[in-house]
Structure 1
Amino acid sequence: MTELSIEGYHLKPFTIETKSLMESYLKYITSDVDVSDYSFAANFIWLSGTSGFYTIVNDTFCLFNLAGGELSMLLPPIGKVENVNDAMMICFDIMNKNNSSITSSKIEYVSSYFVQSFIEYSEDADIFQALDSYIIEKKNIDYVYLADDLINLRGNSYATKRNEINKFKKNYPNISIEMLNPEAHYNGILELTNNWVVNRMKYLPNVDMDTFIDGINWERAAIKRTLHYFDKLEILGIVLKFDEKIVGFTVGEKLNEKTASVIIEKTDFFTLGAAQYIFWEFSKILRDTYNITFINVGDDMGLENLKKVKMSYRPHTLLPKYTIYQKI
């Protein structure tokens, strides 16, 4: 994988060796941003091994994604807030120089923290012009919960969750939880993933098949990257076993001093209650390991069913995420 040279900037491949550099810039914002996308591990896991590039612009870390020959940004420039706005404009110049149309140039997963900084610096005339040149569109939201709510499941609003967990424990008395070991659990996790795909496809409408296949290939690659680089990523995971067979696994990390996030979760398609049970157990482990108050489970990817599931856990906070485009 080679570098890209655009507008005098050298865009280098985004690899596991980039971790310490990106995290040195993330330290400027992690106390203010609870959005799950603002971590090295989350981006490294979900990016294709050949599509991520980065460069330093105006002393900010800038992460790009190359898809179909077109460049976009997966995050706004990361660094001190006073450097971000100028860096963003330069990054749009870089994307425009590479792309076939400015409509392909965009910055995704922009948190309210960066949108607010845009407004705070708008007293300058140049920034007024910038606001006239860009569209800021709300795209998704992250679902953030109080860890204690997910663990204690108190009150009528959590009655269904308590019943599902209790029923699962009754139906599967030989369940066990193990801390994820990528070497010991690799084959079992991939077998679980493959079986889930086969069973899910049986109930998938044909009209959704192409989208599903694209998505699952992406997810499979992400799971393999997670297991291959697990120790270097410094993340945390557990597996759920029934009679020594893996029927679920999940992976997460500490975002900052008060918030942890869940990056991936997968459970057996026919083991009813496994998803609720492993989420309950992992919430306890995240809280006790990292001494955090909140757990972020990411966005719903625009899927109505996933939205219903995440809302059913009564989120404490909904964190909006925006995409910035240029006006044509």
Structure 2
Amino acid sequence: MLNFYYPELKDRDWVQPILSASGGLGSEHAFGTMYVWRWTYCRQICRYKDFLLSGFGKDLRAYVVPEGTGDLREAVEVLIEDAKERGIPFRLWGVTKERLEEYESLFPGKFDYLPLRDDADYLYRSEDLIQLAGRKLHGKRNHLAQFNRSYQWTYEEVSRENFKDCMAVAHEWCLKHGSCGEDGHSEENCAVAAALHGFEPLGMKGGLIRIEGKPVAFTVGEEINPRCFVIHFEKAVDGYNGLYAAINHEFAANALSGYEYINREEDMGIEGLRKAKLSYQPAILLEKYMAVPKGETL
């Protein structure tokens, strides 16, 4: 069997260059994604020749599309053999629509490719989120203008000096929305803490908004590659109209103008989140598929 293990900060040195060189735009192409959620989703990695192999879920519920250079067919076959040795069904997550033809040519008639709409990433042109130009984003401009008129606010970069303020916002949001456990913590807040704890080594960037000095919203993300930046977390406390629009816009305007795309991740099938992400008019809906042996189901 392959030697899968939970990623550590030091693994970024070899993992991120592979992910970046792949040219992929999905959130899974950022090392921080697998690192900060490693305990929640049991995300594990393994190096095979010049490939990054990875999987997630208890007892490796699914493997993730291999990334690297060399014989892709061999890399996938190694994963198939690993699944046999573990006595688990083979599942390969993250085949994008653009790569379906490639996988079918390598494995003709071997797999069915099941669409995973809830896992599709929303990608926006950075200039669209910064300028909010055009008729379709007219409502967003109005929302932002109303925020600017209503509050005395300031924006600052996330740094070690305000990590505690970011966590205070995350905790308040958690309590308000009923996602905290009995101990007052949540899996998402643990992931936020992991991102802040490894902020510099992970190459994270972020922005924080204060209203009359009080921290009320923050966002954190990282570069996938020189074309694309992914937003991992965006939280705002209740009671301030237009606050989400403001943190979204200010971070893009202050930190992300050099990127072609901003990946705001998936909607997880949550209706309200899907509506909100679609309302910003994504340039790309990055569809993903699960490859399963012919005739099998999830």
TM-score by length of 2: 0.89
More displaced stretch, 261-270 vs 318-327: 318-327
Q: Which of 196, 207, 211 pairs up with 2:173?
A: 196
What is residue 67 of structure 2 aligned with on the other side? 78
Any conservation in 2 of the 1:59–1:83 contact (CA below 8 Å)?
Answer: no
User: 1:177 offset after TM fit, Å?
Assistant: 0.7
Deviation per residue, 1:133-159 (Å, 9 max, x gap): x22111032111121111111222112
Q: Which of 109, 119, 130 pairs up with 2:94?
A: 109
Query: Are 1:43 and 2:18 an aligned pair?
Result: no
Matches within 5 A, 1:56-95: 56-67=47-58, 70-73=59-62, 75-80=64-69, 82-95=70-83
What is residue 206 of structure 1 aligned with on the other side? none
Query: Are 1:12 and 2:1 an aligned pair?
Result: no
Matches within 5 A, 1:57-206: 57-67=48-58, 70-73=59-62, 75-80=64-69, 82-99=70-87, 101-102=88-89, 105-119=90-104, 121-122=105-106, 127-128=107-108, 131-132=109-110, 134-139=111-116, 140-173=119-152, 175-181=153-159, 183-201=160-178
More displaced stretch, 107-116 vs 259-268: 107-116
Any conservation in 1 of the 2:227–2:259 contact (CA below 8 Å)?
Answer: yes
Q: Distance in 1 between matches of 2:144 and 2:165?
A: 23
Deviation per residue, 1:280-303 (Å, 9 max, x gap): 111112333xx1222111111111
What is residue 300 of structure 1 aligned with on the other side? 267
Q: Which of 280, 287, 293 pairs up with 2:256?
A: 287
Which SS does the other structure have where 2:76 is aligned? helix
What is residue 313 of structure 1 aligned with on the other side? 280
More displaced stretch, 318-327 vs 108-117: 108-117
Any conservation in 1 of the 2:63–2:79 contact (CA below 8 Å)?
Answer: no
Using the aligned pairs only, state the percent identity.
22
Which SS does the other structure have where 2:290 is aligned? strand
Q: Distance in 2 between matches of 1:106 and 1:286?
A: 37
Q: Distance in 1 between matches of 2:282 and 2:270?
A: 17
Q: Would the alpha carbon gap of residues 52 and 258 (structure 1) be closer, same or farther in structure 2, given more than 3 Å must change?
A: closer
Any conservation in 1 of the 2:40–2:187 contact (CA below 8 Å)?
Answer: no
User: 1:323 offset after TM fit, Å?
Assistant: 1.6
Q: Distance in 2 between matches of 1:251 and 1:197?
A: 17
Q: Distance in 2 between matches of 1:313 and 1:49?
A: 29
Q: Would the alpha carbon gap of residues 24 and 199 (structure 1) be closer, same or farther in structure 2, given more than 3 Å must change?
A: closer
Q: Which amino acid aligns with 1:146?
A: R
**CA RMSD, 1 decimal:** 2.3
Query: Are 1:22 and 2:7 an aligned pair?
Result: no
Q: How many residues align?
A: 291
Query: Are 1:234 and 2:223 an aligned pair?
Result: no
User: 1:326 offset after TM fit, Å?
Assistant: 3.0
What is residue 225 of structure 2 aligned with on the other side? 256
Q: Distance in 2 between matches of 1:232 and 1:93?
A: 34
User: 1:227 offset after TM fit, Å?
Assistant: 0.7
Q: Which amino acid aligns with 1:188?
A: D
User: 1:54 offset after TM fit, Å?
Assistant: 1.9
Any conservation in 2 of the 1:62–1:73 contact (CA below 8 Å)?
Answer: no
Q: Distance in 2 between matches of 1:28 and 1:200?
A: 39
Q: Which amino acid aligns with 1:241?
A: R
Which SS does the other structure have where 1:220 is aligned? helix
Contiguous gaps of at least 5 residues in structure 1 = 1-5, 202-208
Q: Which amino acid aligns with 2:161?
A: A
Q: Which of 201, 205, 213 pairs up with 1:244?
A: 213
What is residue 325 of structure 1 aligned with on the other side? 292
What is residue 204 of structure 1 aligned with on the other side? none
More displaced stretch, 192-201 vs 305-314: 192-201
